[in-house]
Amino acid sequence: MAVQWRAGAAGPRPRVVRVLVGGAVAATLAGGLAACSDGEPGAAAVVDGRAIPTSDVRTAKQELNPYLQAVTSLNVLTVLVQAPTVVGIADKEGVGVSDEDARQLLDSIAEQSGTTNPPTFSEPSLTVAKYSIAYNNLQALPNAKDVATQIDEDLRALDITVNPRFGELADGNQISAPSRQPWIVEPKAAGGADDGSGSPSPTPTPTP
């Protein structure tokens, strides 16, 4: 399922999470849905020795959710993993993006949603926005096809470890939704007892 800026939509691209920014400030984070625990301490992923904290994924998800459709932790994590590669290539190609560019994009999206006082977006959210602009800039280049090949090759060369609560590595170092593991306990329903099995507690039978 795609994740879209509420202002518009765009189609997904294989291998690279596609985030487009057009005249209507439209964007899509392509990726599957993931059921995971954002409150876990530690790293959601480690990329070439660089840890991406679970708190970064949670923060970006919370801040962007009012302006995104069906944003997931998996989508956000995928962008945070790929962003340094995509933004770095944009810099090399002469179409780099600044933090100020990212803030202006997010403020514009917030204003389009009817927000009169845009929030102060954190670094993880700015990274998502920088990825969006950088990828859009790269796609507009005359050598966009060659650049896409370079992005794919660079992503495949990354040394990535993913927290199994967030996802699994697939072909080309893509992150897919996590398979259900027997040791991962699903969150219990509100008010229900947790017996450690991850299954819903039985409904009590009324006493006559």
Please tell me which residue, 92 or 205, carries the higher pLDDT value. 92
Mean pLDDT of the chain, nearest integer: 75
Q: Is residue 68 part of a domain?
A: yes
Q: Is residue 188 part of a domain?
A: no
Provide the pLDDT for residue 179: 79
Q: What is the pLDDT of residues 136-162, one digit of tens each?
A: 999 999 999 999 999 999 999 999 999
Q: Which residue has the tokens 């984070």?
A: 29
Strand duo 168-169 + 43-47: pairing: unpaired
Q: Is residue 120 part of a domain?
A: yes
Q: What is the mean pLDDT of residues 164-170?
A: 91
Provide the pLDDT for residue 114: 86
Q: Is residue 134 part of a domain?
A: yes
Please tell me which residue, 191 or 63, carries the higher pLDDT value. 63
Q: Which long-range contacts (CB under 8 A, 24 or more apart) does 57-60 make?
A: 57/124, 57/166, 59/122, 59/124, 59/125, 60/122, 60/124, 60/125, 60/127, 60/128
**Structural domain containing residue 89:** 2-28+43-176
Q: What is the pLDDT of residues 78-121, one digit of tens each?
A: 999 999 999 999 999 999 999 999 999 999 989 888 888 878 99
Total domains in the fold of the chain: 1
Q: Is residue 182 part of a domain?
A: no
Q: What is the pLDDT of residues 1-54, one digit of tens each?
A: 233 344 333 333 333 444 333 322 223 232 222 323 333 469 999 999 999 999
Provide the pLDDT for residue 198: 41
Provide the pLDDT for residue 172: 87
Q: Is residue 138 part of a domain?
A: yes
Collect all residues with Cβ–Cβ distance below 8 Å to 183 and sequence separation of at least 6: none
